[in-house]
Structure formats: structure tokens, C-alpha cells
A and B are shown apart, each in its own frame.
Chain A
Amino acid sequence: MDQVATLGVTRPRARSPRASFWAKFTAQPATVIALVFLAVLILAAIAAPLIASLVGHGPNDLYRTQMLDGFGLPRGPNGSFWFGADSAGRDVFIRVIYGARVSLVVGVVATGIAVVIGVTLGLIAGYRGGIVDTLLSRFADVMLAMPLLLFAIGISTACSTTSAGCLRGTLTPGLNLVIVIIAVFTWPAMFRIVRATTLSLRETDFVEASRAIGQTEFSIMRSEVLPNLISPIVVYSALLVPQSILFEAYLTFLGLGIPDSTPSWGGMLDQASQLFSVAWWLMVFPGLFLLATVLAFNLIGDGLRDALDPKTPRRTTRKRAA
């Protein structure tokens, strides 16, 4: 034992990394509120059909006589239509709930694909280095240099002209197309982060030590380097989700994303723009939900970054040596 070094120094009771993570993660009230909001939103999205049947309004049911006035304009919020109706007489509340499904699915799935591609390629590029790194990095640079929105509009227009889609039917208009477009354009950001971190991890002594032990390169990548990438991956994923959600909303707003029969926040905002002067609720409710969801994911991303960064001081009281 290094008696001299440890004598008289009572270290704070060692906490498991998980417990310490939760303590730091939940220390910020904003993070907790964001977490609760997202939990409720996800539950509501999952239970959307149930909510619809409880309220008694389907997402595409038309309530022309009830909710449209003599001029054919929609009526605002009331006791049974909490968020009012849209120009076709559909219940905005129910459509907002259903829209959450689209946003969450797009956000999570597109980010998931981008993460898988970005992490895999980033790990290979960073760890292998040399020509592999040069090629992959230049490719990622090219992707990042593409005018994202223009390109996305081009692809979705090309693939949406007929319902058969493009690339012999592999990309059909709608949800899948939106997800693919978003994933294709967001992975390079993840790639760069993973590559840069891997590059520095590759030079660490513990990787060298694993090599000296005789561990294979693949096994070192998977079980020594990857676990040390978890923090940046998790944090950046949480920040990619809202970006993807917003991007889906842009595309749908431009009429290139999700077809009108599937309620989505972007689509609802698009319709609202024509009637905003007489029907504020068309824009306010989907807009608020979009804002809150994006904000919640961003707050969680920040919270994760603080919690996973060992340099953030613990907010709980530190026990001092007596």
C-alpha cells in the first residue's frame, strides 16, 4: 500500500458511475422538466388512437357542420375541440397528438441511422488513419458542403412525382424518404466527432497496452475505444434529434415531406400559413409543440453533456475528510 500517499486522506465515498451520472443529470431543473415533457409526449404519441377514441374525434374526421362557420372558415378552441379545427374541420388537438408520432419517429430513426453510419465510419477512419481516413474524411466533407435544403428538395421532388418513388421503388414518398434524406445529411457531423475522438484515443497508453497484451485491432476498437466514445455519441445524438425533427418540419412545410393524410407538425404549419390571420390556433398549437419538443431534446443534450463530463463538479455536497 502506498501508506504515505493515502494516509489521512479520506476520499469521498466512491459512487458507482451510474449513480453519479443520475445525480448530475437530474441536478438541473430544466433537464428534469424537459425529461418529464418528453415522457408525456411519447406516452401521448403511443396512446394517440386511445386518446382519439376517448375524445371521439379521428385525426382525419371532418366536422364541417360543427366546426366550420357560414363562410367555411374554421372555428377556434372550445370545450370539445381544445385546439380548435382546421380548414377542413378536423380536430387540431388530435392531429397535434398524431403529429408527435411523425416527429418522434423521424427524429429518433433518422438520428439512429445517422449515428450508426457516423460512428462506424468515424471509428474506422480515426483508428485506421492513413488513406482510409483521408478518403472517408473527404467524403464526409463533400457531404457537409452540399447545400442541404436544396439537395433534399431536389431528391424529395424527384422521388415524389409518382407514388412508385425513385431508385426502382426503394424510396417512396412519405416518412421513409424523409428519414433517409435526413440520415444521409446528418451522419457526417457524427462522423467528425467520432473520428476526432478516436484519433486521440488511439494514441492513449491503454490502447497501446491492449495491443501489447495481444488484443486484436477489431476487438480494441469495439471494447476499448468505443466505450470511451459513449459520452460524445450520446450527447451529440440528443442534439441531432431536434435537428432532424425541425428538418422534417421544413420539408413537410414545403410540401415535400409527409403527405397531408398523415398529420404532422410541419404539414399543419404549412396549412396554417394560409389562414393565420383568421385562425391563430392553427399555427400556435403545432408550433408550440414543435418548439417545446426541440427545446426539450436540446436541454436533455446539454444535461447529458454536463453529466457525462467528468470535469463538471458534482452538485451534491462533497464529504470532506475529518
Chain B
Amino acid sequence: MSQTPPTTDEILRLDHLTKHFPVGRGLLFSRQRDIVHAVEDVTLGVTKGTTLGIVGESGSGKTTTARMITRLIEPTSGTIAFDGLDISNIDGARLRALRRRIQIVFQDPSGSLNPRRTAGQIVAQPLRVHDIPGDHSQRVAELMARVGLSPEHITRYPHEFSGGQRQRIGIARALALDPELIILDEPVSALDVSVQAHILNLLDDLQRERHLTYVVISHDLGVIRHISDQIAVMYLGRIVEMGAASGLVDHPMHPYSAALVSATPSHPGRRQSQRIVLGGEIPSPITPPSGCAFHPRCPKARLISGDHHAAPETCRLHTPPLTPASDGRMVACWYPVEADDNLIDAAHAMTANPG
């Protein structure tokens, strides 16, 4: 949405955010370094009190984006603005103050809780670190109750809890400082499906009650669609499509989004034969394909070129910019999906006749 001016109730804005990781070969002697293009030119805005879902395969850069927002890793270039303030370079006391306003819930609830601390100590940790005045144990008890844990859980250790309960502890810890923005990095993907719904409902309730803003990262479009107002689809470090959740899921415009949507089991009315089966794997972010990063796997490009083996020159040579389409949608594609495109057969033809 680079064209639309930031509205006043926008709480988070990423501008041309980019992260390159150098990967060294050899510790001291080799000068030769490869670059992992983890996040490439990501621009997006999040409105206060809403949920942005970022969806993509592993390696799409969604987790790196999340960690940059929380300032756990430094961006290579681009800016992150939180509540109108550029936070991409702050440090010291200002960064510490920011930590109170942005919190993160991690994917693996057992790994994100120190095994040597009780649940109560873990939830109280943010209060202790920030020297919050007042009765911490009272506050911990409130938080634990709010996320659905009972008082006797306070003195237990993480290994004594179930996965869902551990994630509740992680959520209580994130809530302790009354943040405005919570980053949820795959909040339910380590949990049983039955438990997932409980956690998602809890997150929903908390958002309404505390006017929280969420950025949810997941590979699971079903989860993302369930809780997001806006969805951003990432592929190989770039946003390929972004827009209102229902619109995007019902009418994906980027061929990759279409493939993701068709692969989501909870999508109503889907039969196995309707799935767009992409060939191959997500390419290495060390050597991303030229032009549109999706072109080697893109069924739509084959429809345009009329050849199973090659994408059109436009796709191969030029990187499509994220441009506005109908009803506030943004798409980075030279040939967006149209209603009568038969991507299923096109994808099938690609995998059946590998070039």
C-alpha cells in the first residue's frame, strides 16, 4: 500500500524492509560470502486493533519479518515505523521502552519457556525486568486466570504442562506489560488441532477486550484466514499479494496465492482434483530466480507462454512490483489470475512433463 498515505490509526508500517544474511564459508580465511535474501523490499501497514496475517512456506521470510518488527534482528535496509516513530535504529533506553509496547509469542511453547522457571516466574519476568511497581504476584494471578490457567499452575514448571497450556503461559507473558502490538509467530502450529481452536479463540477475545493489534505469522492459510483482517502472502522474501482476508481467500489474484488457497483443506467445496499442485520446491533464497521469483513454478506463466517449460520473458526478466488491483488488493504479478484460468491443468502439465 505504498501509494496510500499512512492513516492516523495505523500502528505499524514497514517501508522497503529488507534483510540479507551473509552466510560465511570458513571462519577466518574465506572472504567469499553468500547472501541469503531473506526479506526483500517488504512494504505494508497494519491498522490499530486489527490482525495482519502473513502466510508463506518456510523460507518465505515471514519469521524474519516478524523478528525485525520486534527488533530481535536488525534490518539490512528499510524502515519500521511503530506508532509514527521510526524504530529501525533505536537502541538503549528507547528500545527498552519499545519492548513494553511490542511483544512476541513464539511457535514452540516448550522452547520459549525457560525449563528452570515456574510458570509464575515466567509470567512475572517482564514485570521484573521493567521494574513495574505494584504487587507482581497479584498481577501474575490475574494474567494466569485471564488466559485460562488456574492458581495452582503458578508454581509448576513448563514440563508439567500440556502444549496448549504452555502456549497460554507464553501469551500471559506477552500480555504482562500491556503491549499494543503482539507478534504471533506460528502461535498454534505446534499444537493439536483441537487445542488450536481454543488458543485462537482466546487470542480473539483478548484482542477485542484490550484493543490489541496482531501480526500473525503462519504457513497455515486456514489459521491465518480464521483470525486475520488482512492477509499478506509472502514468497521468497517478497509480498506477492496482500488484501482483505475474505477477498483474498475467495478470489486470489496471484498464482501462488491461488495454489496456497487450493491446498488449504478447510476451504469449502474443495475436492482433491481441484488442488493446484505446484512442482518443485521453493528455490534457495541464496540464488533467487531472476525476474518474478515465482516464475519457475508458476502455472499461470505457462498459460501465457503456451509452453510447459518456459515462462514468458516478462516474468523471467522483470520483477513485478506490488501494485494496487481492485478493492484495495495489492498484487505483484504481471499476469494476475483470472476467473476462467485453468491453473490446475496447467500445473499438472508442468509436473507431468518436467523440463
B-binding residues in A (CB < 8 A): 1-2, 4-6, 11, 14, 17, 134, 204-206, 208-215, 219, 224, 227-228, 230, 310
* B27 & A209 in contact (Cβ 8 Å cutoff): no
Q: Which residues of A contact B107 (CB under 8 A)?
A: 205
Q: Which residues of A contact B104 (CB under 8 A)?
A: 209, 212
* B112 & A214 in contact (Cβ 8 Å cutoff): no
Q: Bound complex: CA of A1 vs CA of B117, how far in Å? A: 21
* B164 & A214 in contact (Cβ 8 Å cutoff): no
Q: Which residues of B contact A224 (CB under 8 A)?
A: 114
Q: Which residues of A contact B20 (CB under 8 A)?
A: none
**Is B307 an interface residue, CB under 8 A from the partner?**
no
* A2 & B95 in contact (Cβ 8 Å cutoff): no
Q: Bound complex: CA of A1 vs CA of B162, how far in Å? A: 10
* B194 & A4 in contact (Cβ 8 Å cutoff): yes
A-binding residues in B (CB < 8 A): 27-28, 70, 72, 95-96, 99-100, 102-104, 106-108, 111-117, 125-126, 129-130, 148, 156-157, 159-160, 162-165, 170, 173, 177, 192, 194-195, 198
> A292 to chain B: closest CB distance in Å?
34
* B194 & A5 in contact (Cβ 8 Å cutoff): yes
> A214 to chain B: closest CB distance in Å?
3
> A272 to chain B: closest CB distance in Å?
48
* B113 & A206 in contact (Cβ 8 Å cutoff): yes
Q: Which residues of B contact A5 (CB under 8 A)?
A: 162-164, 192, 194-195
Q: Bound complex: CA of A291 vs CA of B157, how far in Å? A: 40
* A4 & B195 in contact (Cβ 8 Å cutoff): yes
Q: Which residues of B contact A134 (CB under 8 A)?
A: 27-28
* A214 & B96 in contact (Cβ 8 Å cutoff): yes
> A62 to chain B: closest CB distance in Å?
56
Q: Bound complex: CA of A88 vs CA of B352, how far in Å? A: 95
Q: Bound complex: CA of A133 vs CA of B70, how far in Å? A: 26
Known interface pairs A2-B162, A4-B194, A213-B103; 14 further A-B residue pairs with C-beta atoms within 8 A, sorted by A's residue number: A2-B165, A4-B192, A5-B194, A6-B162, A134-B27, A204-B111, A209-B104, A209-B112, A210-B114, A210-B125, A211-B72, A212-B70, A215-B129, A227-B114
Sample (6) of A-B pairs whose CB atoms are under 8 Å apart: A4-B198, A5-B162, A14-B157, A205-B106, A205-B107, A205-B112
Pick the residue among B27, B160, B177 that contacts A11 (CB under 8 A): B160
Q: Bound complex: CA of A6 vs CA of B194, how far in Å? A: 11
* A213 & B126 in contact (Cβ 8 Å cutoff): yes
> B56 to chain A: closest CB distance in Å?
20
